[in-house]
Amino acid sequence: MSKSGTILYLDGVSVAFDGFRAINKLSLVLDRGEMRAIIGPNGAGKTTMMDIVTGKTRPDEGEVFFDGQVDLTRHDEAEIAMMGIGRKFQKPTVFDSHTVEDNLVLSLNGPRSIFPALFHRRSAEEARRIDDILGVTRLGDKRGALAANLSHGQKQWLEIGMLLAQDPKLLLVDEPVAGMTDAETEETARLLKDINQTHSIIVVEHDMHFVRELGVKVTCLHEGAVLSEGTLDFVSSDERVMEVYLGR
């Protein structure tokens, strides 16, 4: 399979922890501008896959390429983030002691070394981008609120806002609607579809209602490998998928 035109290219990736194969010869290709939903039961290797892509975990074997040419296995988290891969964690992870605004200030793309940060002055352009992101994530009235005081759903949105501020080429979004109401879930699906206009996205989610809402190609992982891939209807009518979800 050719790597050109892909934003993310995984081929034959395996990783084992103490003999347990969390990822087993996983191959997955994401085209530029594509949004992909990844489903799978607990322990299917979804989060481990994200760890590999973002440089937290090194694979034992296999190829991981970003943007068709960059070998991600040779870079660490900070470098990969700077190349343009943003990640939202399963458990919303924001800077609790900072205001919503400061969370975004720290996420805005720009120089990432110590001295520019020491002498940083906020530009009008940055202020405008923060306003935009606050608008998109509906957090405008929470601008000065401490992130610790946000509701679970708002934290999820703030974290997505931080990804937007980072302006990556590829977003990895782990369980964005966990703990959200139905209305919030719909809203999030709409937001992700919006973001997808200009970014490639991988969404990991258990909520089938949400995945249907997204209306994108679905990959079902099981025991660290791709079990089935296609439309949601195709995947959910796949006998092997039903077996995995309903028990054999």
Partner 1 sequence: MISGKFFAAGSDRRIFVAIVLLVAAAIVVPVLNVAVPAGSAFHVPPYMVALVGKYLCYALLALSLDLVWGYCGILSLGHGAFFALGGYAMGMYLMRQIGSRGVYGNPDLPDFMVFLNWKELPWFWYGFDQFWFAALMVMLVPGLLALVFGWFAFRSRVTGVYLSIITQAMTYALLLAFFRNDMGFGGNNGLTDFKDILGFNVQANATRSALFAASAIALALGVFVTWLIVSSKFGKLLIAVRNAESRTRFLGWRAENVKLFAFTVSAVMAGIAGALYVPQVGIINPGEFDPGNSIEVVVWTAVGGRGTIVGPIIGALLVNAGKSWFTGALPELWLFALGGLFVAVTLFLPKGIVGLWDQWRDARAQRQVSVAAEAGTDIDPTPPKIGRAQSGAPTGEWAKPSGGPEPQPAE
Residues engaged in binding partner 1 (CB under 8 A): 54, 56, 77-78, 81-82, 86-87, 89, 93-99, 102, 105-107, 109, 112-114, 117-120, 131-132, 134-135, 138, 140-146, 149, 151, 153-154, 157, 162, 166, 183-184, 187
* Residue 137 Cβ vs partner 1, minimum distance, rounded to whole Å: 9
Comparison of 1 and 114: residue with beta carbon closer to partner 1: 114
Q: Are 219 and 38 in contact (CB under 8 A)?
A: yes
Sheet holding 85-88, edge to edge: 85-88, 170-174, 200-204, 35-39, 217-222, 225-230
Comparison of 102 and 229: residue with beta carbon closer to partner 1: 102
Distance CA(211)–CA(221), nearest Å, equals 15
* Residue 134 Cβ vs partner 1, minimum distance, rounded to whole Å: 7
Q: Are 220 and 39 in contact (CB under 8 A)?
A: yes
- Which residues does 136 contact at the CB level (< 8 Å), separation at least 6? 161, 164, 191, 194
Distance CA(209)–CA(181), nearest Å, equals 12
Comparison of 95 and 245: residue with beta carbon closer to partner 1: 95
Distance CA(202)–CA(152), nearest Å, equals 21
**Secondary structure letter of residue 68 according to DSSP:** T
Comparison of 146 and 178: residue with beta carbon closer to partner 1: 146
Comparison of 136 and 242: residue with beta carbon closer to partner 1: 136
* Residue 25 Cβ vs partner 1, minimum distance, rounded to whole Å: 26
Torsion of CA 214, 215, 216, 217, to 10 degrees: 130
Helix (H) or strand (E) holding 203: strand 200-204
Task: Return the residue matching tokens 């790597």.
Answer: 3
* Residue 41 Cβ vs partner 1, minimum distance, rounded to whole Å: 25
Half-sphere exposure of 184 (CA within 13 A, CB side): 15
> Which residues on neighbouring strands pair with residue 31, listed in sequence order?
6
Comparison of 135 and 215: residue with beta carbon closer to partner 1: 135
* Residue 30 Cβ vs partner 1, minimum distance, rounded to whole Å: 18
* Residue 185 Cβ vs partner 1, minimum distance, rounded to whole Å: 11
Short-list 113, 114, 134, 111, CA closest to 123? 111
Comparison of 107 and 200: residue with beta carbon closer to partner 1: 107
* Residue 102 Cβ vs partner 1, minimum distance, rounded to whole Å: 5
